Amino acid sequence: MTPISTSSAGTVKSGIDELAAFGGKPLFAEALHVGRPNIGNRETFAARMSDILDRKWLTNGGKYVQELEQRIAEFVGVKHCIAMCNATVALEIAIRALGLTGEVIVPSFTFVATAHALQWQQIVPVFCDIDPATHNLDPRRIEELITPQTSGIIGVHVWGRACHIEALGEIAERNNLRVLYDAAHAFACSHKGAMIGGFGDAEVFSFHATKFFNTFEGGAVTTNNDELANRIRLMKNFGFSGYDQVTYIGTNGKMSECSAAMGLTSLESLEEFIRTNRRNYQLYQAGLADVAEARLMSFDEDEKNNYQYIVLEFDEDRAGIKRDELVKVLHAENVIARRYFYPGCHQMEPYRSNYPDTGQRLPLTERLVDRVITLPTGTAVKLRQISDICDLLKWIISHGPEVHESLSRLTA
């Protein structure tokens, strides 16, 4: 990707006192968030909502859910897409439908839902360290964690960058394990030219409001396995295979027609959302090109990416200011930067208490959770605001030790 040039290298602050953390005026009048929803065409959405109300078919596999499932299956290139109320329930159902039991290997560097979906069903999430180059499961660390109780691996395509899919597949085959992918971040992304959604035994997408493609709340399981798809369909509808006929233990994982209407509308603007995210990414790339202390995560330009996360790895030793101090100063300026996935699932309950020593085998995860910062992007952020965020970051970092000292005095 050719970096585009930033409009200004202008100074957004001319002294420490001007930082909002020390009483100055915030750079932005309103908060800029990570995860502000992208909204498609309002008229189209309103027309669909009106139709739903007219037809009085609100949920339970209605017209819009069926259409969304079909469109997603076509887009991803899989045989089956089963829309769900959210990705957490979709993960729980996929885990159960795959027959996972005992122990399942997962990264700790993920949203806690990945681990909880297992533990919720009394399956132990066995946390594995990551490859620092990709932030995804390190295949070289997986086999040492396999025991007779291990039934599967859940890989997470963090930031939409694909896991080491071939290596995971080989390990699974050698050890007779199932592979499920948490593709919550990876809608519209590809691996070796093939869309994410068709790998492993099944993949799970999240369409939560904070994802670049949203259905308010929502998610989906995609798979090419007919039998598995059938089981998942039954399980997400209480196990009903017909009127009064229950074939499995099931739950309620259904997506509503409102969510599907939003999904269809979002799908119509998908390319625009990705274009905006990519343009934002390029602007951050240009704006932060010479900032060695804050390295912008890269994407493989030969693949399809959704560019929904602007991820920095921040080197606090080099900058002379702590990552959390930087986040605090940014928040005061109304740049609501986020740590991800701090402090790692293994440091959250119940995993922290159940397995207090897990951190010892996760040195790279523990390092990464102290370095990551995500920045605002999406259709809600303007180009000028991104240049200003870059200038602000550069200014703070170039005054790192001073800002650190001033913050220390403030809290002393």
Residues interacting with ligand T4K, by CB under 6 A? Answer: 33-37, 86-88, 110-111, 113-114, 156, 182, 184-185, 206, 208-210, 219, 336
Q: What is the nearest approach in angstroms of ligand T4K to the Cβ of residue 317?
A: 27
Q: What is the nearest approach in angstroms of ligand T4K to the Cβ of residue 89?
A: 7
Q: Could you write out the three-class secondary structure of the chain?
A: CCCCCCCCCCCCCCCHHHCHHHCCCCCCCCCEECCCCCCCCHHHHHHHHHHHHHHCCCCCCCHHHHHHHHHHHHHHCCCEEEEECCHHHHHHHHHHHCCCCCEEEEECCCCHHHHHHHHCCCCEEEEECECCCCCCECHHHCHHHCCCCEEEEEEECHHHCCCCHHHHHHHHHHHCCEEEEECCCCCCCEECCEECCCCCCEEEEECCCCCCCCCCCCEEEEECCHHHHHHHHHHCECCEEECCEECCCCCECCCCHHHHHHHHHHHHCHHHHHHHHHHHHHHHHHHCCCCCCEEECCCCCCCCCCCCCEEEEECHHHHCCCHHHHHHHHHHCCEECECCCCCCHHHCCCHHHHCCCHHHHCHHHHHHHCCEEEECCCCCCCHHHHHHHHHHHHHHHHCHHHHHHHHHHHHC
Query: 219 vs 400, which CB is nearer to ligand T4K?
Result: 219
Q: What is the nearest approach in angstroms of ligand T4K to the Cβ of residue 220?
A: 10
Query: 91 vs 397, which CB is nearer to ligand T4K?
Result: 91
Query: 33 vs 371, which CB is nearer to ligand T4K?
Result: 33
Q: What is the nearest approach in angstroms of ligand T4K to the Cβ of residue 37?
A: 5
Q: What is the nearest approach in angstroms of ligand T4K to the Cβ of residue 164?
A: 17
Q: What is the nearest approach in angstroms of ligand T4K to the Cβ of residue 307?
A: 16
Query: 6 vs 190, which CB is nearer to ligand T4K?
Result: 190
Query: 255 vs 397, which CB is nearer to ligand T4K?
Result: 255
Query: 37 vs 61, which CB is nearer to ligand T4K?
Result: 37
